Amino acid sequence: MNMKKTIIYAIVTIIIVLSAIRLISNRNRIVSQNENLTADFVTVSIANVEKKASTFNLNFTGTLYPYKELDISAETPGKITSLNYELGQFFHKGEVIATIDDKIKKLSYESAEIDADRLKKDFERTGNLYKGNASSEQEYALARTSYETAKNKFEEAEKQLSYTKITAPIAGTITKKIVEVGKYIKEGDPIASIVDVSRLKVKVNVSESDVYYLHTGDRVTITSDIYPGIAFKGKISFVSPRGDDTHNYPVEIEIMNSAKNPLKAGTFVNVEVGIGSSSTALYIPREALQGSIKDAKVYIASNGKALLKNIVIGRGGNESLEVVSGLNENDKVIVSGQVNLTDNRAIKIITNN
């Protein structure tokens, strides 16, 4: 029984000691955190406001689209007699991918050809007679009109016959099979889809504040998580002159596809545009910023005190922010220690970055 009581007393003692240690530790931490609040000054680090070339990068996320994407449609009605393609097959422009029953079209073509040849000979014979005054001008004009009409009918029949061979309108890869052999189709019915991904388009939506920095022909760098460390070069091909209701502007970028690292339409990519200027601007480290970009403030060190100033921020990157107004070159902005600062508080500078 005594042994049991001894164990209980020991456990209780250990708990009390541990609690005391924790309380002491918490007290020391709180004292440490508030040390600057009770001191006559706050220790801070500062950095200079610098004037430098106002260059920065704009970054966007976009989606890849085929440079060209078309539905291949029939230009004449009829029954499909052959399909020469499979999904994923590549065709050069003008290669035949399907045929339509051409029996009637071929008969019309042959008949029109015979008529055109016959009336051509009649026209030539009448012309010779007319030159020898053996035929009237009216007969000569009638022969010419008949031949020209037959010639036009022949050319139309030739065109209609050519429509029975459906060809690839662009070089590309078949991505959709719409019909099967034996199906009757009408003029304008699609039979397949083809895409050209030898070049690609990146489509991005750009905010109003950024779009004025972009121009057709600007060079950009494109990266994708699919190929880490690989950069693709592109150029801006279109900047919309009109934004949507949310003040975003569609922008398109053209990029040549790579045989070594081929990209597919639908892939998400990152776009970086380097913006350069011959002018200079003031910059501060991003960690000096107090508040938000739209309601920006900084503390500056002046005569041993921290002064809170309102500023206007322009462009910014990951490390620095452009200052449009509110600061002067070589002002000292506080970059650490702000958590304990209030306006006009005494400071002690420990680091000048």
Per-residue pLDDT of the chain (353 residues; tens, 9 = 90+): 456 656 666 665 666 656 656 655 555 554 444 544 455 889 999 999 998 876 677 889 999 999 999 999 999 999 999 999 999 999 999 999 999 999 999 999 999 999 999 999 999 999 898 888 888 889 889 999 999 999 999 999 999 999 999 999 999 999 999 999 999 999 999 999 999 999 999 999 998 878 888 999 999 999 999 999 999 999 999 999 999 988 899 999 999 999 899 999 999 999 999 876 656 889 999 999 998 888 899 999 999 999 999 999 887 666 788 898 999 999 999 999 888 899 999 999 887 76
Residue 29's CB is within 10 A of a number of other CB atoms, namely 10
Please report the pLDDT score of residue 297 as a whole number: 93
d(CA 117, CA 154): 10
- Phi-psi region for residue 264, left (φ > 0), alpha (ψ -120 to 50) or beta? beta
Domains in the chain, please, with CATH?
39-55+279-352 (2.40.420.20), 58-67+196-275 (2.40.30.170), 70-191 (2.40.50.100)
Please report the pLDDT score of residue 57 as a whole number: 79
d(CA 351, CA 248): 43
d(CA 334, CA 323): 15
The SS3 call for residue 32 is helix
d(CA 346, CA 201): 57
The string of DSSP letters for 185-245 reads: E-TT-EEEEEEEEEEEEEEEEEEHHHHTT--TT-EEEEE-TTSTT-EEEEEEEEE-SS--T
d(CA 25, CA 318): 37
Please report the pLDDT score of residue 230 as a whole number: 94
d(CA 283, CA 310): 15
CA angle 316, 321, 323 (to 5 degrees): 115
Please report the pLDDT score of residue 131 as a whole number: 87
d(CA 310, CA 326): 6
Please report the pLDDT score of residue 36 as a whole number: 47
Please report the pLDDT score of residue 21 as a whole number: 63
Largest CA distance in the chain: 152
Q: Which residues on adjacent β-strands are paired with residue 235?
A: 219, 254
Please report the pLDDT score of residue 60 as a whole number: 92
Please report the pLDDT score of residue 226 as a whole number: 94
